[in-house]
Structure 1
Amino acid sequence: MFDNLSDRLDSVFKKLKGHGTLNEANIEEGLKQVRMALLEADVNYKVAKKVISDIKARAIGQEVMQSLTPAQQVIKIVNEEFTRMMGSEHQDLNLDGKTLGSIMLVGLQGSGKTTTAGKLSRHLRKQGRKPFLVPVDVYRPAAIDQLKKIGKQLEVPVFDSSTDMKPLKICQDAQLAAREQGCDTLILDTAGRLHMDEELMAELEGIKKGVNPSEILLVADAMTGQDAVNIAGSFDKRLDLNGFILTKMDGDARGGAALSIKAVTGKPLKFIGVGEKSTALEPFHPDRMASRILGMGDTLSFIEKAQDAVDQKEAKAIEKKLRANAFTLEDFRNQMKSVRKMGSIKDLLGMLPGMNKKQLKGLNISDKEFVRIEAIINSMTPQERDQHAIIKASRKKRIALGSGTSVQEVNKLLKSYTQSMKMIKKFNKGGMRSLKGMLPF
């Protein structure tokens, strides 16, 4: 996400740095390019005009002109103004102090409400809450079945609604059922339409009045750009929304909706969907996103993903094995699974400060490589995983055949593993200078 905007801004800032000292003309030319980059990213015209005006007011003044590093100071101002444009700080769900909170998800058909309901239930459970999924879309039987299936996969209870029930009745009965099952947060997956209509709004207004939800969140497709922002405004006028969730952000290289939605509606973007997995829902942090857009990385999100994916007891056990030089291929495979839970390797590297966008594009890191490595290790016997030295020619052929790979690929994995173990042994003795050769690709 934001790849196009990041690339454009990177070239603008390189030119500014090339000037050394800056004058008003340099800054105005640079900001003109930033404005064009924002418009190409499908940012609302008025929002782009306002943010450039705010940046210019700060950039053409003592804050930059008297700085020893004027170009860096301009980048700092752009970062701060982008953060302010997107809402300054993360706005969490307001569920505190309620024995039974409720989140009402609204939006047009196809925006991803049902899958988002499942992702949100997982997020809430991580925070110690007990969610209860409620299928309210009685016009699309598949939506009820889909949410029941998601609930079963995530082991989250789902209210047993049906197409012959009234939406408001479903929500009210679900409140009673949630209390009986010891749940504390309803997630209402309401019906959508292909377009805005009075019947849809009237139904949603009725649910709002009858249930009095803690949060009403619009789920919108980020790839529709400014249409998503316009839809947000229409829903907000009728329902007084508490915020938004933008789905399919991983497929949107422009990101105009995420940049504009807070400035246009005054309501915060609370979450972004970045993939199909149940883990692919991220709390939206304006400051972190601004840093990511400007190529400064997002270390905090990286750490949070790692903490979510890695079991702390397991991490300590692995650390002991590494120190004792007893890290087996079985351990190697398990650690790889943890890394894959965190998301795309390229996306993860993009969160690290100092990672150049062009360098990332040049890296040939395929997530399929990890699948291949896992298949090779899975084809080994427990003894082979524990004692890699016994894997000779005949065993390599059997492993390659069982994993659908070649002997060369088995050799490559074993070579990478043994090199890694040698490097770790050196490190344990007190001096690893390079990580080169540690990764199996």
Structure 2
Amino acid sequence: MVLQDLGRRINGALNDLTRSQNLDEKAFDGMVKEICNALVESDVNIKLVASLRTSIKRSVDFKELGPGVNKKRVIQKAVFDELVKLVDPHAEPFKPKKGKSNVIMFVGLQGAGKTTTCTKLARWYQARGFKACLVCADTFRAGAFDQLKQNATKAKIPYFGSLTQTDPVQVAREGVDKFKKERFEIIIVDTSGRHRQEQDLFDEMVQIQQAVRPDQTIMVLDASIGQQAEAQSRAFKETADFGAIVITKTDGAAAGGGAISAVAATHTPIVFIGTGEHQYDLERFQPNSFISKLLGMGDMQGLVDHVQSLKLDQKDTMKHIAEGVFTVRDLRDQLSNIMKMGPLSKMAGMIPGLGNMMGGMDDETGAMKLKRMIYICDSMTEKELDSDGKCFIQQPERMTRIARGSGTSVREVEELLTQQKMMAGMAKKMKGGMANMQKAQAGMGRGRGQQQQMEAMQKRMQAMGGMPGMGGGGMPDMASLMKQMGGMGGGGMPDMASLMNMLGGGGGPPGGGRGGRR
């Protein structure tokens, strides 16, 4: 996850304070000092850190806190709000319009990941119904067009470029004109990587801008370049006046605070974050969600968006659960869907508390255990897959046959069937609620009605209570959910339909405030 070490240190400082017997001003000052040290060591500009320190201390006045006030909540909320302000430039990013050609131009340093990010963004818009394409105006770097062509072909996105034309301005103009005539809605122009000291390349960048007249210019920043990010972004801002930032390589950046400093220095919104090499590893940036994940509170809205963007096939399972049924085949389908969602560590960052509880869990090990469960299901007959699992109790020799056929143990088969039984029991309890959930999903995207439907659905889920894997408040009990995820040799994974059912309550700051979804 983004800036994992920073998140752990800030969390640790907050937890140490709230566990302290004497929650006084001295302990509070110690917590603020530790948070500021963590930010400085993550390459956040020292002036920004000093300003943050002043703001947090101003927000919590111990003299004005009455005896009945929950000091822990007040401090947590103050830290959350001030960290959100740190990454929020208070500027609205560009929003493309459907039915119109929106030209987006990418600029940035060489090696920052522009070409890969261009493809990711085109795919992101394509998945949301836009007609997207790519133009390669990078004639400087050898192999740039081949890389874009390969990425675009894999993502099934139309592209334009030239192996013979050396003038990037001409290539950009021809590509944009071509796609405008073909009525593409998102036209993304990739340009050569450059350094702030390379004046010729900067002049070329301005010429491309004048030729294609982009609706938005995006600067791509590598999260690992540290405090250089601020100087580089200022140089680009003065020349190209970009309107948005995409931060890349956050999956491997321990000290990515420099990128945060660049946002504050240029007052430019971060629009996306690159979280890996896969074409789906691009997340929409929202200050509240970013800080929520950083502090281990999760990002439920991000999880919902991610699941929806993958367009996972849930129809049969949703229909079964609405009828109060959950077969072995349903379990197998959900295991396959979870495999498509990406690394477990990435998903854990979106679920409150789960990132910390995963600890050092290895993605490869977890994926292998998931695969073994799928192998077990694949060794079953059609009749066994569509059953409720009772045939295995009546004829235990079936489990022996399946274990041999899948190269697993009888115990693993028993554990998978135990998981299926637990989910079947959950489906019976969710029977009425799922029908209502499907109605709520059918009404998604209808303005304020969506928020009301999600809230109503959450209340219904809370009213059910007593479900396996559920805490007292209707949200997942993370201890039992972790047991299911980490014990996969012992309990398996939660099904995506029921997980989606639990997503009504988004991550945010304790005690409300700015953490709610906007």
Determine if the TM-score, normalized by the shorter chain, exceeds 0.5: yes
Q: Hey, what does 1:243 align to over in structure 2?
A: 244
Report % sequence identity.
29
Task: Please say if 1:361 is aligned against 2:359.
Answer: yes
Give the residue type in structure 2 aligned to 1:56: K
Q: CA deviation at 1:427?
A: 6.3
Alignment of structure 1 residues 64-75 onto 2, 5 Å: 64=65, 68-75=69-76
User: Separation in 2 of the partners of 1:118 and 1:51?
Assistant: 36
Contact 1:302 1:348 in 2 (8 A): yes
Give the length in aligned residue pairs.
Answer: 434
Q: CA deviation at 1:382?
A: 4.2
Q: Hey, what does 1:30 align to over in structure 2?
A: 31
SS at match of 2:159: coil
Q: CA deviation at 1:15?
A: 3.1
Q: CA deviation at 1:48?
A: 0.9
Q: Hey, what does 1:226 align to over in structure 2?
A: 227
Q: Hey, what does 2:420 align to over in structure 1?
A: 417
User: Separation in 2 of the partners of 1:89 and 1:338?
Assistant: 37
Shifted more, 130-139 versus 160-169: the winner is 160-169
Shifted more, 425-434 versus 189-198: the winner is 425-434
Task: Please say if 1:164 is aligned against 2:162.
Answer: no
Q: CA deviation at 1:272?
A: 0.3
* Cα 1:75/1:392, change in 2 over 3 Å: closer
Q: Hey, what does 2:403 align to over in structure 1?
A: 396
* Cα 1:17/1:407, change in 2 over 3 Å: closer
Q: CA deviation at 1:63?
A: 5.9
User: Separation in 1 of the partners of 2:91 and 2:315?
Assistant: 32
Give the residue type in structure 2 aligned to 1:334: D
Q: Hey, what does 1:371 align to over in structure 2?
A: 371
Give the residue type in structure 1 aligned to 2:190: D
Contact 1:90 1:285 in 2 (8 A): no
Q: Hey, what does 2:177 align to over in structure 1?
A: 176
Contact 1:301 1:351 in 2 (8 A): yes
Give the residue type in structure 2 aligned to 1:73: V
* Cα 1:378/1:117, change in 2 over 3 Å: farther
SS at match of 2:143: helix
SS at match of 2:271: strand
* Cα 1:323/1:183, change in 2 over 3 Å: closer
Q: CA deviation at 1:207?
A: 0.5
Task: Please say if 1:386 is aligned against 2:389.
Answer: no
* Cα 1:317/1:184, change in 2 over 3 Å: same
Task: Please say if 1:255 is aligned against 2:256.
Answer: yes
* Cα 1:372/1:253, change in 2 over 3 Å: farther
Q: Hey, what does 1:147 align to over in structure 2?
A: 148
SS at match of 1:374: helix
Contact 1:105 1:188 in 2 (8 A): yes
Give the residue type in structure 1 aligned to 2:359: K
User: Separation in 2 of the partners of 1:89 and 1:345?
Assistant: 33
Give the residue type in structure 1 aligned to 2:334: Q
Normalising by the residue count of structure 1, what TM-score does the alignment of the two structures yield?
0.87
User: Separation in 2 of the partners of 1:378 and 1:78?
Assistant: 50
User: Separation in 2 of the partners of 1:440 and 1:142?
Assistant: 44
Contact 1:89 1:287 in 2 (8 A): no
* Cα 1:46/1:260, change in 2 over 3 Å: same
User: Separation in 2 of the partners of 1:132 and 1:97?
Assistant: 14
Task: Please say if 1:331 is aligned against 2:338.
Answer: no
Q: Hey, what does 2:395 align to over in structure 1?
A: none
Gapped regions of structure 1 (runs ≥ 5) = none
* Cα 1:43/1:24, change in 2 over 3 Å: same
Give the residue type in structure 2 aligned to 1:396: A
User: Separation in 1 of the partners of 2:36 and 2:270?
Assistant: 22
Q: CA deviation at 1:288?
A: 1.4
Contact 1:119 1:280 in 2 (8 A): yes
Normalising by the residue count of structure 2, what TM-score does the alignment of the two structures yield?
0.75
Q: Hey, what does 1:322 align to over in structure 2?
A: 321
* Cα 1:109/1:372, change in 2 over 3 Å: farther
Structure 1 residues 297-337: Cα deviation after superposition (integer angstroms, max 9, x where no partner): 222212222332355xx535312313546534433232223
Q: CA deviation at 1:46?
A: 1.4
Q: Hey, what does 1:342 align to over in structure 2?
A: 341
Structure 1 residues 8-32: Cα deviation after superposition (integer angstroms, max 9, x where no partner): 2222222322446654433322211
Give the residue type in structure 1 aligned to 2:350: M
Shifted more, 302-311 versus 32-41: the winner is 302-311
Shifted more, 244-253 versus 326-335: the winner is 326-335
Structure 1 residues 133-153: Cα deviation after superposition (integer angstroms, max 9, x where no partner): 001111334221221222222
Give the residue type in structure 1 aligned to 2:131: K
* Cα 1:379/1:155, change in 2 over 3 Å: farther
SS at match of 1:42: coil
* Cα 1:357/1:345, change in 2 over 3 Å: closer
Contact 1:67 1:73 in 2 (8 A): no
Contact 2:104 2:189 in 1 (8 A): yes
SS at match of 2:36: helix
Gapped regions of structure 2 (runs ≥ 5) = 393-397, 433-463, 470-479, 485-490, 494-518
Alignment of structure 1 residues 49-64 onto 2, 5 Å: 49-60=50-61, 64=65
SS at match of 1:250: coil
Q: Hey, what does 2:192 align to over in structure 1?
A: 191
* Cα 1:64/1:177, change in 2 over 3 Å: farther
Q: Hey, what does 1:279 align to over in structure 2?
A: 280
Could you tell me which of 414, 434, 437 is aligned with 2:468? 434
Shifted more, 210-219 versus 424-433: the winner is 424-433
Q: CA deviation at 1:37?
A: 1.4
